[in-house]
Structure 1
Amino acid sequence: MNIAVAMLLSIAGLTIGFFTWGKYVARRSGVNPNLPTPAVRINDGVDYVPAKPIVLLGHHYASIAAAGPIIGPTLALIYGFIPAWLWLLFGVIFIGAVHDFSALFVSVRENGRSIAHIAKKTLGNTGFALFLSFAILLIMLVNAAFLQLTAIALTSTYPISKLGLPPDQTLLKTTIVKGEIYGKIGGIASTSVIIITIFAPLVGYLLYKKHIKTYIASLIALSIVLISVIIGLKFPVSLNPQIWMVIILIYSFIASWIPVWVILQPRDFTNVHFLYIGLATMVLGIIGSGLAGIKIQAPTFNIDSLSMEALGPIWPFLFVTIACGAVSGAHSLIATGTTSKQISNEKYTHLIGYGAMLLESLLGMSVLLVILSAVDFEHYKELVWPIENGHLKQGNAPLAFAVSVGKTLNNGLGIPIFFGTIFGILMLEGFLITTIDTLFRLMRYFFEELWNVLFVKKPAILESRMFNALLAIILTAILSFTNGYQKIWPIFGSANQLLAALTLVAVTAWFAQKSIKAYFAAIPAGFMIITTMASLSILLKKYIESKNLTLTITDILLLSLASGVIVLTFKYFFKLRAELSKQKFVEQMK
């Protein structure tokens, strides 16, 4: 298939989904633009802050997208093009976007409460504690994987000969690896990250305290991004990956407890301009490549021994590997943890909740098509699933994505390969950092809520935002420094989509309380529960056999917590059904 045709079919399918199923779900849910939102009613200047719709869409999209729709589809391509593409299209329209919208809408109606707190209304304190614990474990897995991916991206190098540059070039700073000249493309991203972070408080001050016009703030943000890249070309920062992990953890510790307008919102606002440009450029590059005659360079299906060794059986592991690009429980944590506290009108829940998830799927589809148009399947496997001494070793999925962006933009738009590759690594880095700092803040929220359930009288230290932020950092660091991202990814994906299932169960129960039959949430919940519980069970056997104690314990905890939530949910629905039957009988007797 021509690569442009595949891209246009993807865009058409997602657009139709937004205006048909998305509108139907919003209408069935009862969106009411006349009801004041928590951001408007509470507006405490710290967590509850009404944001401009376009700014909030950018913050939410950057926070949910992250590396998931980039790394997940990159890894899942080992199964072939068709399975990955179909799940990205139909999974997001009927499950992923429904999940994101429903979680956001219900949270707005519940004073900006987290999804765990929403579950409390139906499952009680026990269910609340189980849900919170599950969410905390998931965030640990997400941030542990993303932390490593960030460090890999920031330290990536690539042969300059494959970037179309001569040995005497002066554009990129270089290093020698086994006698070959490599360009420090990750170092450019490192410098850019540092500069954008330093200037984030200034952007936040101008945007939220001085209330400058959004377009002026956008021009300032774009200027900062451009300057950061120019400086990065001249002065790339080169550090050891583990040092980068420590630095990011320190930054995340600070960002997780200071007011959102200081770093979190402005940094996301700055980054998202680059991310939007990146997504648009990828789409145009793919279409341009198609017009140049480029076709998909991968088998439609690739179910073989390598894909089985890499990930496992296509069901359930295709679904949990792609994860964020189609369905993601982590989105419910962001939607109900930060976004619902900033939305200024209910009418924007469809745009931000459903729409942003479709944009994420478009990113995932673009990643698939960028890779398939840029490298042949053998080169893809060398980068992402390399084999050494007859066994798979950890590949460099971020580099595979960046290199593919470079080649696609060169084929489709005539942009030099090295510029496109740098562009790809910068785009990935922007997604990674924005999600990491947002999720650490959410983890801090969840610890604070968990202590309220577990203790009648909390020790003073558990009231401290700094202590809870530090606890989140330490637990994530332990997991991240003991396991590679490709080992963490399958259990992260399983936990992530299982939380999505549990979230859909919780919102179905909430709608039932309001006498709304939410089949649009209940049916996807059932499918996702079966799929993810199966994947966690298969992984548990694998972890026990390989004697991986950390992931074995994590898997057992996830299965136990999820089982507890499911049992409590069934009890609730049986009780609700009995109450409704009793009520109907009483009405008939009158």
Structure 2
Amino acid sequence: MVTFLGALATLIIGYFVYGKIVEHVFGPTDKPTPALVHNDGVDYIPLPTWKVFMIQLLNIAGLGPIFGALGGALWGPSVYFWIVFGTIFAGGVHDYLSGMISLREDGKSISEVVGHHMGPVMLFVMRIFSVVLLVLVGTVFMTGPAGLIAKLTGIAVTIVLPCVLIYYFLATLLPIDTIIARFYPIFGVCLIVMALGIMGGMLFGVGGHTMPDMQLANLHPKGDAMPIWPLMFITVACGAVSGFHSTQSPIMARCLKDERLGRPVFYGAMVSEGIIALIWAAAGVTFYDGTGGLGAALAAGGPGTVVYDICVGFMGGSGSFTGYIGATLAMLGVIACPITSGDTAFRSARLTLADWLGVEQKQSMKRLMFAVPLLAIGGILSQMDFNIVWRYFSWTNQTLAMIVLWTGAVYLYRTKKDSLAYIIPAVPAVFMSAVTSTYILQAPEGFKLTTSITYPAGIVFAILCLILFARSTVLKKA
């Protein structure tokens, strides 16, 4: 319990201390925001700050901080380190910079932002990369909640899935204040109830479970066959740093009324997601009394069943009326996370294609031109094995985060030439360069190479990225 509370306190302190440092370095101004300059009644709409925060949080808090955190918990309480320090020094920086740079550049999609600062080759790569990632995200966050709804209601998943797809279509097509801004507060209440309920159940010892304290050892049930580096850092994904967030931040950059609201909205939402991930990682090893029990449960029933069992167990007790109500509220919170990320994933894919091809989106027919094929592809991919789609999503997601962090470093170097501000995103960019390259060389869905090759190769790739950055910025100036 002490470890969990210490990690929770560190996340909160990190927002107020390091978040303030990042904000000060970036330097918000009184310049009119895109929401005020380009108000079109569809995507550029000034919204109340609390709604912008809630939408941003629900946009980014998909299955990653739940399913990903449960997967990361298989390595034991050491996952707390990655969730806490990844959120503060990587994820928060990534989300804040991607949102604020987009805001400064008229709310452009992240692919356009990266291309502006990294050149035409990276622009083309990012356009392809972003659309692929967003469709994968939309697919993952379509099948995941469909399975959870089926588990909760008893309705066949083949019936639930088309209903989720129809909702995604409407959320992708309609103005942002028609569905998303109107219903997200309700989803937000479910999300808060879920997080507080699960955390309270653990802290008050519901079910007689004991929260484990910190161990740095690899406690994965498969032992050395599943090394912490780099597998845990990819598995946790959205709970520490996520490239997907950079595709969502521009959506809210088009709705902010003041640049100074960037820290509570972008950095604050990431810290909130880190807290959700911390809760679920702790819940996994606590409820199943260790990584062995958690691993067996995941293997037997999958993450959906594990989530359901934890909700019932910590929210009132299995078999009781209060337990059922508590589990239902918690499950609704869990379902709200992926649904409210999946819908905006397809929306962001539409905006990315529109920015790419220069097609304005005020007219509904022009929005249909992108929405129909995107949702059709998502529907087809939803028939694939969830675990396969998730693994490719995780690596693509973290690779995008690495690219965006390097973009943030270039931006800060160019705009803050008389300071070392670029170090703030450059350090996590180097780290994520090593993580992503090592993973794809080593993973079963990658090149399946041995650690004797992948570890040094990952380090070399990270150093190479740093050298390329230095040559194009610091050394070029000298």
TM-score normalised to the size of structure 1? 0.72
Hey, what does 1:343 align to over in structure 2?
Answer: 256
Give the deviation of 1:356 after TM superposition: 0.9
Are 1:580 and 2:477 matched, yes or no? Answer: yes
Structure 1 counterpart of 2:172, from 230, 244, 256? 256
**Counterpart of 2:371 in structure 1: which amino acid?**
A
Hey, what does 2:269 align to over in structure 1?
Answer: 356
CA distance in 2 between counterparts of 1:288 and 1:415 reads 20
**Counterpart of 2:404 in structure 1: which amino acid?**
T
Hey, what does 2:427 align to over in structure 1?
Answer: 523
Are 1:26 and 2:28 matched, yes or no? Answer: no
Are 1:506 and 2:422 matched, yes or no? Answer: no
Within 5 Å, which residues of 2 pair with 1:351-430?
351-377=264-290, 378-386=292-300, 395-410=301-316, 416-430=322-336
Are 1:276 and 2:192 matched, yes or no? Answer: yes
CA distance in 1 between counterparts of 2:427 and 2:224 reads 29
Are 1:130 and 2:125 matched, yes or no? Answer: yes
Hey, what does 2:7 align to over in structure 1?
Answer: 10
CA distance in 2 between counterparts of 1:91 and 1:441 reads 27
Alpha-carbon spacing, 1:429–1:575, altered in 2? closer, same or farther (3 Å): closer
CA distance in 2 between counterparts of 1:449 and 1:45 reads 17
Is the CA contact (8 Å cut-off) linking 1:296 and 1:373 kept in structure 2?
A: yes
Residue-by-residue CA offset, 1:168-187 (whole Å, 9 max, x unaligned)? xxxxxxxxxxxxxxxxxx11
Hey, what does 2:453 align to over in structure 1?
Answer: none
Hey, what does 1:535 align to over in structure 2?
Answer: 439
Hey, what does 1:243 align to over in structure 2?
Answer: 159
Give the deviation of 1:22 after TM superposition: 1.0
Residue-by-residue CA offset, 1:395-442 (whole Å, 9 max, x unaligned)? 42122123213222337xx98332332222211111111111111100
Q: Percent identity?
A: 25
**Counterpart of 1:466 in structure 2: which amino acid?**
L
Give the deviation of 1:443 after TM superposition: 0.8
Is the CA contact (8 Å cut-off) linking 1:152 and 1:241 kept in structure 2?
A: yes
Is the CA contact (8 Å cut-off) linking 1:92 and 1:357 kept in structure 2?
A: yes
Alpha-carbon spacing, 1:303–1:289, altered in 2? closer, same or farther (3 Å): closer
Within 5 Å, which residues of 2 pair with 1:192-207?
none
Alpha-carbon spacing, 1:247–1:24, altered in 2? closer, same or farther (3 Å): same
Hey, what does 1:228 align to over in structure 2?
Answer: none
Hey, what does 1:193 align to over in structure 2?
Answer: none
CA distance in 2 between counterparts of 1:17 and 1:431 reads 23
**Cα RMSD (Å) of the superposition?**
2.9
Give the deviation of 1:543 after TM superposition: 6.0
Give the deviation of 1:299 after TM superposition: 9.3
CA distance in 1 between counterparts of 2:205 and 2:142 reads 33
Give the deviation of 1:478 after TM superposition: 3.0
CA distance in 2 between counterparts of 1:24 and 1:50 reads 27
Unmatched 5+ residue regions in structure 1? 157-185, 188-237, 387-394, 546-562, 582-590
What is the DSSP-based 3-state SS (H/G/I as helix, E as strand, rest coil) of the residue aligned with 1:353? helix
Hey, what does 1:295 align to over in structure 2?
Answer: 210
Is the CA contact (8 Å cut-off) linking 2:73 and 2:282 kept in structure 1?
A: no
CA distance in 1 between counterparts of 2:379 and 2:268 reads 33
**Counterpart of 2:400 in structure 1: which amino acid?**
L
Within 5 Å, which residues of 2 pair with 1:101-180?
101-156=96-151
Number of residue pairs the alignment of both structures matches:
456
Residue-by-residue CA offset, 1:557-589 (whole Å, 9 max, x unaligned)? xxxxxx9xx9999768635557634xxxxxxxx
What is the DSSP-based 3-state SS (H/G/I as helix, E as strand, rest coil) of the residue aligned with 1:49? coil
Alpha-carbon spacing, 1:420–1:318, altered in 2? closer, same or farther (3 Å): same
What is the DSSP-based 3-state SS (H/G/I as helix, E as strand, rest coil) of the residue aligned with 2:236? helix
Hey, what does 2:376 align to over in structure 1?
Answer: 474
What is the DSSP-based 3-state SS (H/G/I as helix, E as strand, rest coil) of the residue aligned with 1:261? coil
CA distance in 2 between counterparts of 1:473 and 1:344 reads 31
What is the DSSP-based 3-state SS (H/G/I as helix, E as strand, rest coil) of the residue aligned with 2:16? helix
Is the CA contact (8 Å cut-off) linking 1:56 and 1:343 kept in structure 2?
A: yes
Give the deviation of 1:322 after TM superposition: 0.4
Unmatched 5+ residue regions in structure 2? 449-460
**Counterpart of 1:145 in structure 2: which amino acid?**
V
Is the CA contact (8 Å cut-off) linking 1:70 and 1:364 kept in structure 2?
A: yes
Hey, what does 2:455 align to over in structure 1?
Answer: none
CA distance in 2 between counterparts of 1:54 and 1:523 reads 31
What is the DSSP-based 3-state SS (H/G/I as helix, E as strand, rest coil) of the residue aligned with 1:147? helix
Which of the pair has more CA radius of gyration?
1
Structure 1 counterpart of 2:350, from 435, 444, 457? 444
What is the DSSP-based 3-state SS (H/G/I as helix, E as strand, rest coil) of the residue aligned with 2:398? helix
Structure 2 counterpart of 1:318, from 217, 232, 242? 232
CA distance in 1 between counterparts of 2:67 and 2:402 reads 22
Alpha-carbon spacing, 1:543–1:514, altered in 2? closer, same or farther (3 Å): closer
CA distance in 2 between counterparts of 1:488 and 1:409 reads 31
Residue-by-residue CA offset, 1:3-25 (whole Å, 9 max, x unaligned)? 3x334212211121112111111
CA distance in 1 between counterparts of 2:332 and 2:375 reads 24
Give the deviation of 1:264 after TM superposition: 1.8
Alpha-carbon spacing, 1:110–1:365, altered in 2? closer, same or farther (3 Å): same
Give the deviation of 1:68 after TM superposition: 1.0
